[in-house]
Chains A and B, each alone.
Chain A
Amino acid sequence: MSVLTDALTLVFQPDVLITVILASLLGLTIGAIPGLTAVMGVALLIPITFFMDPVPAISAIAALAAMAIFAGDIPGALLRIPGTPASAAYVQDAHVMAKEGCPERALGLSMGAACFGGVVGVILLMVAAPLLARFATNFSSVEYFWLALLGLSCAAIISTGAPLKGILSLLFGLWVASIGIDEVAGQPRFTFGSTELMGGVSFIPAMIGMFAIPEILRNVALPQGKITPPRMGPVFQGLGANLRRRRTNLLRGSLAGSMIGALPGAGADIAAWVAYAVAKRRSKTPEKFGHGHDEGIVEAGAANNGALSSAWVPTLVFGIPGDSITAIVIGVLYLKGLEPGPIIFTKTPELVYAIFIAFFLANLLLIPFGWLIIRAARHLLTMKPAYYLPVVFACCIVGSFAINNTAFGVVVMLVFGLIGWLFEENGIPVAPAILGIVLGGMLEFNFVTSMLKSDGNLMIFVSRPVAAALALTVLAVWAWPIVKHIRGGRA
């Protein structure tokens, strides 16, 4: 109980609350602007959180992500431009509904579903994370190796349309992670004589570059035409009745999203698509899907934010990111001197509970802030890219500079930005590379440590029951595209 009281005291401080409110407003603005995504918003926020205490820093990230993911539905509904990849699952339904003169109904449903799904995800996070952490205290380097490999494999193979390209991206990330002084032997690797590279490639400028620069370049290269969003009616009119009517979708989407989000490397995008597919399969009127029907919006919308919260389960318990946003969070936790893993639950439980409460708060704030952004959406959507894109670029520059107080960070950001753009142009996903950069050190350390412990005997990797089960899961993930290919060939 005292832990919870301590956590509440940590969160309900004026500076934390102001940070959460500001981050929420920033998240809503970024999510509502077509072409700017939640991940990019989080990436741009990191240089500022770098100078904050852990609780306001993590709370700001949680609030920004939750708001941006919901706000991504706004350009989706009004313009058929999904603000985030997760919104793409139900963009057609929401847009048709908006075109039929009910944009407020589509956005209201999506706001209510996001809030409910987010709260369910937080509850799962609060229940599952401490239990798993207790179980994970017995894990050795072998289990951690398999967990890291599982997260990376899921991100590279399952989360992407093209597994080979996903693996390529991941291997690039793993190579980048090996740049700098080797932790085990103290040997400089791939530094090309540069003292700046001795400490490794700075994670934050690399991530800002890979996530933000391709988006800015894409917006510059392929500008959108003149935008005329429709007029908005009262958001809350009939919302409660509509949500009650779709309570099965709401509950199923929230639970499915929360469970999918808790899988390492899965995330909100997959959760939303799976939930939409389930909603269609279970619906009595599947023919209405894609024609302005509300079942898909509610179910996938709830799954979206449910996954966002539960993606923190593997992040906090094992240090394995659930999605791109939590990959960034892991980097921030390390920067704050907090090593994610089961120990964080025993060493600083009040901090973990403070994160849970901050998440809860962010999801509850979705209703008033969501209403505000829906009302303001018309003005945000008509903002000219000619003004906000240079501003975002300037933020990328100053953010990359601020991490190490050197222009080298800006160079890293630009180089990784161009690499990220080339990746996206060629259908190579960026997220596995980022996960590779974040988890590469952990994967190598646990692999080499296990090999040293066993004197090179590979059997150590399946010598314990949990390790063997994890090894089988990893093998199943690897075999999945082959099985899919064979099944596809037969069909």
Chain B
Amino acid sequence: MIQHLDPWTFINGAYAVSALFLAGASLLAWRRLRRASAHLTQAEGL
């Protein structure tokens, strides 16, 4: 018997994984850059 699958479940999953990765990676990179910049400014002031 051929099982009918709703493709939108899989489409939504693929887009969600992509969006979560891009957003998460961007957020982590931005936070790391901001922290590094703040620490450098602090170290230069010493």
> Do the two shown chains form a genuine complex with each other?
no
